[in-house]
Amino acid sequence: MRAHLAFLLFIALAAPWLCAAAAPPKPNIVFILADDLGHRDLGCYGVKDIRTPVLDRLATQGVRFTQFYSNGPECSPTRTALLTGRYQQRVGGLECAIGSGNIGRYDDAIRLRTTHDLGLPASETSLGQLLKRAGYTTALFGKWHLGYEDKFTPGAHGFDRALYCAGGGMDYFHHVEPTPDGQKKVLFLDGRPEKREGYFTDLIADEAERFIAANRAGPFFLYLPFTAPHSPFQGPDERQPQPLSDDSPRWPQGKAPPAIYAAMIERMDSAVGRVLAALDKAGLASNTLVVFTSDNGGTASARPTGLRGSKGTTFEGGIRVPCIVRWPGTLPAGTISKQVALTFDLTASMARAAGVKLPAGRTFDGQDVLARLADKQPEVPRTVFWRQRRGDSTWKGARDGALKYVIRVVGKRTDVEGLFDLDADESEAHDLLASRPADAERLRGLLAAWEKEVAPVR
């Protein structure tokens, strides 16, 4: 009897430990974001003259999306949606990339700039904060572009460590950006100005390798937003004694020398290879979710995509981007998915994978698309929206199933408008506006209702 009671006591005491031991470990998360990468700028998406063996191999090890979209056609908007898991329109002031030197580029952004509020508020409960609360060590190495003011630094959003470019683009070697007041250093470490030697793409990989080695006990969230292949267009072997002048032909985004553009992407591919090798060396690859995508479609410097439009527009060329996800043991390797998905769907997916609980009253706009893939569920139609503002120009887009509506308004004048069936016309060459007026009106109504629902909070 005494032995029986002792056994029961042992089971009672050991039960919590046994349950904990049975629970699977939280996955590490590595999120890699390219900057202005065109939809077909990788070998696995069809490019022939840019070598990307690392990312091509990653696609064979996981899922490659063919109808993946950025939440916005420019930098800051998509980054806002990524970190909040919500449409960036809800935040206010971030529907356009913040201009170099902290410039607001449309009325709401200009208003917020005058009160020193142009950026992503810490009150938005960003992904870094959520994962940190869930027990993750967090780091960001790369491009921030979500506010220059001290209250908008990565540290305010839950990142334990951050080496970052504050603005939209900087000299890859001298780490300065042109502003209305002259060139300024925009490289920071944990909120303080930082001086480093080296090509920025390589510096990102250096920091990532060190972080992975130091945090192998996990779990960790490593956010790597590369500046490549955003301008200025500088190859890794092109260091000059002085920064590029403001009037250098390497700064305009649509005028990259083709060979230099390729070299920038190839160096980024090599940097991603270093990160993946660090995971292998630390024995972490099997329990790490790796995501690669781009913040928006390519500029005129990108390789031809067959899609209409480019960065800054809501045509497919401005918002359709590569997306590759590897999660060993959870996502089937070698999968090609036609599921329509957006950046903020990855936020919802990462949060669920990490066991994150949202604060009361907070929900994601994105959907957990990775859970559907893991469960081998069929693709589902989506209804999704875009809006981008700059000056008095507003681009909008709505996709409902295969139908997509695009409109650009300049002032009060409609400059561009069209309706397209993407299943039959991926290049948006055949406008159905006149032949399907009822569908056009329906999508206009959906877009108007969405705009009202996502009215900004400030």
Which positions are catalytic? 75, 145
Q: Using an 8 Å Cβ cutoff, are 119 and 148 in contact?
A: yes
| Cα angle, residue 383 at apex, residues 381 and 387 outer, rounded to 5° | 145
Examine residue 232 and say whether the peptide bond preceding it is cis (omega within 30 degrees of 0): yes
DSSP 158: T
Other C-beta atoms within 10 Å of 415: how many? 12
* Segments of 99-146 assigned E as strands: 137-143
Other C-beta atoms within 10 Å of 337: how many? 19
* Residue 29 bridge partners (DSSP): 221, 289
Strands 341-342, 68-69: pairing is parallel
Contacts of the segment 375-381: beta carbons below 8 A, 24+ positions apart: 376/332, 379/337, 379/338, 379/339, 379/340, 380/339, 381/340
State the amino acid at position 399 in one-letter form. Answer: R
Task: Give the CA radius of gyration of the chain.
Answer: 23
Q: Using an 8 Å Cβ cutoff, are 162 and 150 in contact?
A: no
What phi, psi does 398 have (nearest 5°)?
A: -140, 130
Instruction: Give me 92's structure tokens.
Output: 């206010």
Our CA dihedral for 7, 8, 12, 18, rounded to 10 degrees, sits at 50
Of 177, 165, 279, the closest CA to residue 227 belongs to 165
Q: Using an 8 Å Cβ cutoff, are 353 and 370 in contact?
A: yes
Q: Which residues of 67-78 are buried (b: 16+ CB within 10 A; e: fewer)?
A: bbbbbbbbbbbb
3-state secondary structure of 49: coil
Rounded Cα gap, residues 30 and 208, in angstroms:
10
Rounded Cα gap, residues 58 and 71, in angstroms:
23
3-state secondary structure of 69: strand
What phi, psi does 96 have (nearest 5°)?
A: -145, 150
Examine residue 225 and say whether the peptide bond preceding it is cis (omega within 30 degrees of 0): no
Q: Using an 8 Å Cβ cutoff, are 293 and 343 in contact?
A: yes
